[in-house]
Amino acid sequence: MIYFELVPKDLEELVKEATQICTQFKAIQGINVPDIASLEIRSGEATAKLLKNKIEAIPHIVCKDKSVEMVLAEIAKLMNLGLQSVLILSGDQTTQRISSNYINKVKAAYPQLKVYAALDPYRQSIKAELDYCEEKIAAGADGFFTQPFFYEELAEIYLEQLSGKTKVFLGICPVITESALHYWRTKNNSIFPQGFQTTMDYNAVLAQKLLALAAEHKQHSYLMPIMVDGVKYLQEINLIP
């Protein structure tokens, strides 16, 4: 499976772009909807709009500013519209390991719902992150959406360790400006190869390699073309229409 991330800045434009992408590129099976506090439109509202338009969508549910009861109520409304999957996140600024508790509560309330968690290869050691993944699996997580990988070798370590245990959606993101490169290095502590190039050609080849790597491990991917035209990006990586 391949999902595509769209930032919900305008509901009508969101539906228009999602419809175009899912119609033109049959390999895309749904839309991943991030929850960004600075935006007026939050993930739940955007997901509801997509579901009403018969577009599969996965909302991000950030735990740090919501009670379990609030999360369950929000999910219940979306399930009435056809929600099948959700991504549970602790929240960028929190140091509390609260997502496992929320995953457990959501899965207990809605066992038919696919409940995914986050995997961040940059926040701690590989072993510590894998242990954290095991904690979330024990809580009921059905799989993981990762932060973007820029090293094939690092992605392969996580795929080898988790394949056969759970689903992994490998994050793939083009970085085509120096400011974007600086952002990923400083904000997310992302690791880049010495020869990394901020060109579309380089990033398209990297995306193709990561997509192939995920498929080789019988896993999944999601594409997040931040600040890049979505259709043009899919054409650049030669995703089969």
- For 62-98, write each residue's pLDDT tens digit: 988 789 999 999 999 999 999 999 999 987 544 456 7
User: Is 227 within the bounds of a domain?
Assistant: yes
pLDDT higher at 21 or 241: 21
User: Looking at the domain assignment, is residue 135 inside a domain?
Assistant: yes
Structure tokens at 17: 């772009």
CA angle, 67 then 72 then 74, to 5°:
95
User: Is 137 inside a domain boundary?
Assistant: yes
pLDDT of residue 92: 57
Q: Does 21 reside within a domain?
A: no
Cβ atoms of 71 and 42 within 8 Å: the answer is: no
**Does residue 7 fall inside a structural domain?**
no
Residue 13 included in any domain = no
The whole-number average pLDDT for the span 149-155 is 96
Which structural domain range is residue 129 located in?
56-236
Tokens standing for 127?
Answer: 């072993």
Is the residue at 225 inside a domain?
yes
Total number of domains in the chain: 1
Residue 84 domain flag: yes
5 phi, psi to nearest 5 deg: -90, 130
pLDDT tens digits, 182-200: 999 999 999 999 999 999 9
Q: Of 109, 125, 35, which Cα lies nearest the Cα of 75?
A: 109
Q: Report pTM.
A: 0.94
Q: How far is CA 126 from CA 153, 154, 156, 158, in A?
A: 13, 9, 12, 8
Please name which of 73, 143, 64, 231 lies closest in space to residue 223, comparing C-alpha atoms: 231
Specify the range with the lowest mean pLDDT, choosing from 18-22, 28-32, 91-95, 120-124.
91-95
Alpha helices, H only, 6-162: 11-24, 43-52, 68-79, 99-109, 126-139, 152-162
CA distance linking residue 156 with residue 104, whole number of Å? 28
Q: CATH no. for residue 89?
A: 3.20.20.220
Residue 204: CB atoms within 10 Å = 18
How many other β-carbons are positioned within 10 Å of the β-carbon of residue 201?
10
